[in-house]
C-alpha cells in the first residue's frame, strides 16, 4: 500500500519504544503501511548531540518511515528537514501533542496548541526547507555542526534510501517530496478542532494525525472519535489527509473506525507493544513470540552496542 492511499494503518511514534530495532521487528513480522520514528529534539540536533541520531537509524525496507521531531524553536526545524531528507525518510512530522511537562513548559509538544502562530512558523520553515531541497540545497550546505553531518553520513551508508519520487504522495500540496505533517491532539484543555484544523490547513501541512484526547486528558478516558470525525470533515475539499488515533486495539477495530469516522488512515501505538503481528491480524504461537523476543533483543544490541 502507498503512504497516501486511503486506508493506511500506521505504527504511531512512541518515545522509548519505536526505535530502529522495534521498527525492524514490527516491519518484518507485521508490515504496517507506514511507521514513525520516536520523536527527536530539533534543538539537540543543532547543539550537535550525535547520540540523538540513533532514533533515526533505519533498517533496509520499502515501508515508508516518517521522521518525527519536537521543539518550540521554528528555526531549528530547518536542520530537522535536511537530516530527514538526507536519510531518505518518507516525510517529516511535527510533534504537537506530547504532554510531557519538560517539553510543554519549554513551549514544544502539546503547548503548540496554545501558540498556533508558532506552529505556523514551524510549518513555514519546513515548507521553505523543502523548497530549498527541491532546488538542490543539501545538508552539507547548512551550518549544522560538522560532527552531526558526519554522523548522518554514517547512518546514511547503513540504511536503505527510499526512492522518494517512487512514493505517490497524493495529498501533498506543493510537492511530491517529503510531505510535511503534524501529529496533534484534539485540544489542550478542551476540544479545539474547529480552530486548529483550519489553521493547520491554512499553514500548508500535507497531513494531520489526530489523537482523540486533549492535553488535560493525557492518556486517561477514551479517545473522542467523534471529534476526529469532525476534523476529517473540516479537511473535505482540500488535499489534506487526516489519520485518526487513539485506543485502536486490532486491525478489525482500525478498519471499523475508518469506516465509521471517515478518516484516511489510523495510527496504532500501545496495542503494538509486544505485538508486531497486530498489523497482520495474526495470532502467534508461544514459540513464535519467544523467537520474536530474542530477535528483538539481538537487534537492540546490534543498533546500540554502546548500551550493552
Ligand atoms: C510511552 C509513550 C510514548 C509516546 N511517545 C510519542 C512520541 O514520541 N510522539 C508522538 O507523537 N506521540 C507519542 N505518544 C502518543 C502515541 O503516539 C499515541 O498518540 C497514543 O498512545 C494514543 O494511541 P494508542 O491508543 O494507539 O496508544 C506516546 C505514547 C506513549 C504511551
Ligand 1 near 213 CB (within 6 A): no
Query: In this structure, is residue 208 part of a structural domain?
Result: yes
Residue 160 annotated to the active site: no
Distance from Cα 269 to the centre of ligand 1, integer Å:
6
pLDDT of amino acid 177: 86
For the chain, residues with pLDDT lower than 50 are: 163-175
CA distance 92 to 121: 15
User: What is the count of structural domains for the chain?
Assistant: 1
- The residues near 267 (Cβ < 8 Å, ≥ 6 apart) are 10, 11, 12, 36, 183, 209, 211, 243, 244, 245, 248
Closest C-alpha among 218, 215, 177, 222 to residue 196: 215
Distance 35 CA to ligand 1 centre (A): 13
* 194 burial level (CB within 10 Å; 0-12, 13-18, 19+): middle
Beta bridge partners of 266: 9, 244
Instruction: Give the range of the structural domain holding residue 264, as residue numbers without chain letter.
Output: 8-307
Nearest atom in ligand 1 to 247's CA:
25
- Domain annotation covers residue 229: yes
Please report the pLDDT score of residue 165 as a whole number: 38
Per the CB < 8 A criterion, the answer to whether 66 and 135 are in contact is: no
β pairing state of 65-70 and 180-187: unpaired
Furthest-apart CA pair in the chain: how many Å?
Answer: 52
Minimum CA distance residue for ligand 1 atom 19: 211
Residues of the chain by 3-state class (helix, strand, coil), percent to 5: 45, 15, 35
CB 42 within 8 A of CB 299: no
- Binding site membership of 100 for ligand 1 (Cβ less than 6 Å): no
Helix (H, G, I), strand (E, B) or coil at 36: strand
Rounded to 5°, the CA angle 51-57-58 comes to 175
**169, 206 contact by CB (below 8 A):** yes
Neighbouring C-beta atoms of residue 226, cutoff 10 Å: 13
**Does residue 1 fall inside a structural domain?**
no
Query: Does any domain span residue 88?
Result: yes
2 assigned to some structural domain = no
Position 211 in a domain = yes
- Which atom of ligand 1 is closest in space to residue 211's alpha carbon? 19
- Position 3 scores a pLDDT of 73
Q: What residue ranges in 146-240 does DSSP mark as E strands?
A: 180-187, 207-214
Which grid coordinates belong to 108?
514544544
183 Cβ below 6 A of ligand 1: yes
The tens digit of pLDDT for each residue in 186-244 reads: 999 999 999 999 999 999 999 999 999 999 999 999 999 999 999 999 999 999 999 99
Give the nearest ligand 1 atom to 271 CA. Answer: 26
Q: Specify the CATH number for the domain of residue 246.
A: 3.20.20.70
Look at residue 121 in the predicted model and tell me its pLDDT: 98
CA of 13 to the centre of ligand 1 (A): 6
Q: Closest Cα to residue 148, out of 89, 84, 83?
A: 83
Asked, for residue 3, whether it belongs to a domain, the answer is no
Amino acid at each position: 500500500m502507498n503512504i497516501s492511499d486511503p486506508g493506511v494503518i500506521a505504527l504511531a511514534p512512541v518515545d522509548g519504544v519505536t526505535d530502529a530495532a522495534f521498527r525492524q521487528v514490527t516491519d518484518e513480522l507485521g508490515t504496517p503501511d507506514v511507521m514513525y520514528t520516536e520523536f527527536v529534539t530539533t534543538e539537540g540536533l543543532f547543539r550537535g548531540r550525535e547520540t540523538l541520531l540513533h532514533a533515526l537509524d533505519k533498517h533496509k525496507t520499502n515501508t515508508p518511515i516518517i521522521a518525527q521531531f519536537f521543539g518550540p524553536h521554528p528555526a531549528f526545524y530547518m536542520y530537522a528537514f535536511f537530516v530527514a531528507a538526507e536519510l531518505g525518510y518518507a516525510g517529516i512530522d511535527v510533534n504537537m501533542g506530547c504532554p510531557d511537562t519538560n517539553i510543554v513548559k519549554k513551549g514544544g509538544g502539546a503547548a503548540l496548541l496554545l501558540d498556533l502562530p508558532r506552529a505556523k512558523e514551524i510549518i513555514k520553515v519546513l515548507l521553505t526547507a523543502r523548497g530549498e531541497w527541491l532546488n538542490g540545497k543539501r545538508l552539507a550546505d547548512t551550518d549544522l555542526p560538522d560532527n552531526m553531518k558526519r554522523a548522518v553520513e554514517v547512518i546514511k551508508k547503513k540504511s536503505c534510501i527510499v526512492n522518494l519520487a517512487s512514493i505517490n504522495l497524493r495529498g501533498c500540496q506543493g510537492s511530491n517530496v517529503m510531505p510535511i505533517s503534524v501529529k496533534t491532539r484534539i485540544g489542550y484543555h478542551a476540544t479545539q478542532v474547529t480552530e486548529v484544523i483550519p489553521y493547520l490547513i491554512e499553514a500548508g501541512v500535507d497531513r494531520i494525525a489526530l489523537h482523540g484526547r486533549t492535553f488535560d486528558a493525557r492518556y486517561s478516558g477514551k479517545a473522542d472519535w467523534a471529534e476526529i470525525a469532525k476534523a476529517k470533515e473540516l479537511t473535505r475539499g482540500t488535499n489534506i489527509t487526516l489519520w485518526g488515533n487513539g485506543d485502536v486495539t486490532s486491525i478489525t477495530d482500525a478498519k471499523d473506525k475508518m469506516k465509521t469516522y471517515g478518516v484516511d488512515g489510523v495510527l496504532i501505538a500501545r496495542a503494538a507493544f509486544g505485538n508486531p503481528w497486530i498489523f497482520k491480524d495474526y495470532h502467534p504461537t508461544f514459540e513464535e513470540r519467544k523467537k520474536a523476543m530474542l530477535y528483538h533483543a539481538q537487534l537492540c544490541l546490534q543498533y546500540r552496542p554502546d548500551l550493552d
